[in-house]
């Protein structure tokens, strides 16, 4: 059974980027449908935790940009960073004024706006989306994009998880905001982030950027899923024999990963003052939930830690942005949040929260506005449309298991070396060639597509990683340990059966290819 719907703008994904896209598109006066794999407002990385915001006072912006330029290793764009800083100011004010988000206040009565409680934030986003008349399709993951005979993106095919019914949504423009790909590493809130939107974009002809910068690893207590790296600024780290393990002050954790391959590493947040301990519990209560359940006081006791991969969620890579309204290289298709590359503001190194959270809100709004303008000019599709892409991988559970075995280990994906990357990529290519096409129904249908998306991401990541023969940002090559000035360019990647990576020929200046 197939249900057919028609709208002006289809937003795929219901996190911060997707909800902001839906809000802006609806405010532009067009019809909007939002389709989410989970329940909009409760699923995804932001809805499960707190997040910082890149909210910077004007007097401090130059220093903030300079810091990001240093971390980004020459691949950021100052114009885009300024746009995001300006837009974040407006969006957070709007969040307080329209969504009535309850920002805390300091002792002088000033609002503290550089941090958001994810559950409260996303609850208010959903309410506003509903009040604007957007039709929300919860638990309805998109499987394939629709295109017309000219290749213009014209909607998507989705599946309703509860009933197994196919939902065909024709639209004049589509915004992809499905998040990044965390390879089901079990980091909190990220199991829905399997890279589905990126796969759909490439199937429609889009290209990617920054896929080599997709190997972010975050600290978590062993046996838990909460990765909040900021709190480890107050930590002392220890080796198994109890001696202090001196961790480099940089964000590079490759030394820690190397030690963990040989022996356990423990941590204690014993450098936090009493006041800081109270504030930390208020700021991120879910960080402490696991400790409380385990009967551990993380401020006085030592606990074993591990590193958890978060792929393109805390990484940088994603769909290449071609203009200021977050349009892609494909007509009618827009990308936002972690689905889109963050190189424009983060360069070769991103991370959790802060600029990523701001990028989600800003790019979502720009994409929604751009998609609405395109839809008003184009009108709803009136001719024939067809789905692009293949069914999901046969034996999807086995595919996911093997992809995780080739992506999660530090020694392959983090401590990168050609001798380890090349055989891993060869096996991923073999998995791709043997994936078949599983004509499943219902839940198995979209799980098979998830497996295909994760497999595709792993191949794109390793292909780009082998192409960049240097160490830059979070991409650390242990056979090419130095930064190479000749490679100060962005790398674009594309393809499905046959992959390619090459330097980006066009830089974005003031949002236009130049």
State yes or no: pLDDT of 438 exceeds 80: no
Phi, psi dihedral angles at 394 (to 5 degrees): -70, 140
As a whole number of Å, the CA-based R_g of the chain is 22
pLDDT of 169: 98
| pLDDT tier for residue 249 given thresholds of 50, 70 and 90 | low
Collapsing DSSP to helix, strand or coil, 229 comes out as helix
Which of the 8 DSSP states describes residue 505?
S
- Three-class secondary structure of residue 166 per DSSP: strand
For range 22-46, the mean pLDDT: 96
Strands (E), 360-499: 385-387, 491-494
Where is average pLDDT lowest: 81-90, 148-157, 248-257, 430-439? 248-257
Mean predicted confidence (pLDDT) in 66-77: 93
| pLDDT above 70: residue 46 | yes
Contacts for 112 with CB less than 8 Å, ≥ 6 apart: 103, 104, 105, 106
Check residue 174 and report its DSSP letter. E
Residues 513 and 116: their CA atoms lie apart, in Å, by 34
The architecture CATH gives domain 396-485? Up-down Bundle (1.20)
User: Where are the chain's structural domains?
Assistant: 2-213+312-387, 216-310, 396-485
What pLDDT, on the 0 to 100 scale, is given for residue 251? Answer: 67
Q: Is the pTM of this model over 0.85?
A: yes
Residue 89's SS3 state is: helix
Residues 364-381, mean pLDDT to the nearest whole number = 97
What's the chain's average pLDDT? 92
d(CA 320, CA 476): 22
Residue 510, pLDDT > 50, answer no
Q: What is the pLDDT of residues 383-395, one digit of tens each?
A: 899 999 988 888 9
Phi and psi torsions of 426, nearest 5°: -60, -40
Mean pLDDT of 21-37: 98
The CA distance from 357 to 17, in Å, is 9
* Alpha carbons 40 and 126: distance in angstroms, whole number: 6
* Angle in degrees, CA 473, 474, 477, rounded to 5: 95
The confidence band for 476, taking pLDDT boundaries of 50, 70 and 90, is very high
> CA–CA distance from 98 to each of 23, 101, 124, 127, 369 (Å)?
12, 8, 9, 11, 18
Could you give the dihedral angle defined by the CA atoms of residues 394, 398, 402 and 405, in that order, rounded to the nearest 10 degrees? Answer: 150
What are the DSSP E strand ranges found in 372-497?
Answer: 385-387, 491-494
Q: Is the pLDDT of residue 506 over 60?
A: no
Ranges of H-type helices in 74-169: 78-97, 118-131
User: How confident is the model at residue 253, as a pLDDT?
Assistant: 84
Could you list the beta-strand ranges (E) of 416-498.
Answer: 491-494
Q: How many Cα atoms sit within 13 Å of 308 on the Cβ side?
A: 25
Q: Under CATH, which number does the domain 216-310 receive?
A: 3.90.700.10
Measured distance CA(205)–CA(178) in Å, rounded = 18
- Between the two ends of the chain, the Cα-to-Cα distance in Å is 48
Give the residues across from 127 on adjacent strands.
none
7, β-bridge pairs: 171
Range in 104-108, 144-148, 168-172, 233-237 the model is least confident about: 104-108
Contacts of 294 (CB under 8 A, 6+ apart): none
Q: What pLDDT is attached to residue 106?
A: 80
The topology under which CATH files domain 2-213+312-387 is FAD/NAD(P)-binding domain (3.50.50)
333: enclosing H helix or E strand: strand 333-335
Whether the per-residue pLDDT at 294 is higher than 70: the answer is yes
Q: Do the beta carbons of residue 362 and residue 422 sit within 8 Å?
A: no
Q: Is 130 exposed, middle or buried, given 0-12, 13-18 or 19+ CB atoms closer than 10 A? A: middle
Q: DSSP labels for 145-179?
A: EEEETT--EEEEEEE-TTT--EEEEEEEEEEE---
């Amino acid at each position: 059974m197939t249900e057919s719907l028609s709208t002006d703008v289809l937003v795929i994904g219901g996190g911060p980027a997707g909800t902001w896209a839906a809000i802006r598109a609806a405010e532009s006066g067009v019809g909007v449908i939002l389709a989410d794999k989970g329940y909009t407002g409760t699923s995804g990385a932001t809805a499960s935790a707190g997040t910082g915001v890149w909210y910077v006072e004007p007097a401090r912006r130059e220093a903030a940009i300079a810091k990001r330029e240093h971390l980004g290793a020459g691949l950021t764009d100052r114009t885009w960073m300024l746009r995001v800083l300006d837009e974040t100011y407006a969006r957070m004010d709007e969040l307080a004024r329209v969504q009535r988000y309850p920002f805390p206040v300091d002792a002088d009565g000033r609002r503290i706006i550089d941090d958001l409680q994810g559950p409260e934030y996303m609850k208010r986003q959903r309410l506003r989306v509903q009040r604007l008349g957007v039709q929300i399709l919860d638990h309805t993951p998109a499987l394939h994009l629709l295109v017309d005979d000219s290749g213009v993106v014209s909607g998507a095919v989705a599946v309703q998880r509860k009933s197994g019914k196919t939902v065909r949504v024709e639209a004049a423009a589509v915004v992809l905001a499905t998040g990044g790909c965390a390879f089901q590493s079990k980091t909190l809130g990220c199991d829905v982030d399997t890279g589905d939107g990126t796969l759909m974009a490439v199937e429609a002809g889009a290209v990617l950027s920054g896929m080599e910068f997709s190997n972010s690893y975050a600290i978590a207590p062993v046996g838990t899923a909460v990765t909040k790296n900021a709190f480890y600024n107050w930590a002392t780290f220890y080796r198994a024999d109890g001696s202090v393990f001196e961790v480099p002050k940089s964000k590079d954790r490759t030394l820690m990963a190397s030690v963990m391959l040989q022996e356990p590493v423990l941590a204690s947040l014993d450098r936090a003052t009493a006041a800081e301990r109270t504030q930390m519990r208020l700021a991120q209560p879910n960080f402490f939930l696991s400790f409380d359940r385990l009967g551990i006081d993380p401020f006085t006791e030592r606990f074993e830690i591990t590193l958890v991969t978060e792929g393109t969620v805390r990484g940088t890579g994603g769909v290449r942005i071609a203009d200021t309204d977050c349009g892609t290289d494909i007509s009618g298709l827009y990308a936002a949040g972690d689905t889109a590359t963050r190189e424009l503001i983060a360069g070769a190194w991103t991370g959790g929260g802060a600029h990523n959270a701001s990028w989600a809100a800003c790019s979502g709004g720009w994409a929604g506005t751009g998609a609405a303008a395109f839809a008003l000019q184009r009108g709803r599709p009136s001719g024939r449309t067809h789905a692009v892409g293949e069914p999901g991988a046969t034996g999807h559970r086995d595919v996911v298991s093997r992809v995780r075995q080739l992506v999660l280990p530090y020694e392959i994906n983090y401590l990168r070396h050609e001798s380890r990357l090349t055989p891993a990529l060869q096996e991923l290519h073999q998995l791709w060639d043997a994936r078949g096409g599983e004509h499943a129904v219902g839940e198995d249908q979209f799980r098979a597509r998830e497996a295909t998306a994760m497999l595709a991401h792993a191949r794109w990541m390793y292909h780009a990683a082998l192409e960049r023969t240097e160490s830059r940002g979070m991409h650390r090559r242990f056979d090419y340990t130095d930064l190479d000035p000749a490679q100060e360019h962005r790398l674009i990647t594309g393809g499905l059966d046959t992959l390619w990576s090459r330097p980006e020929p066009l830089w974005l200046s003031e949002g236009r290819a130049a």
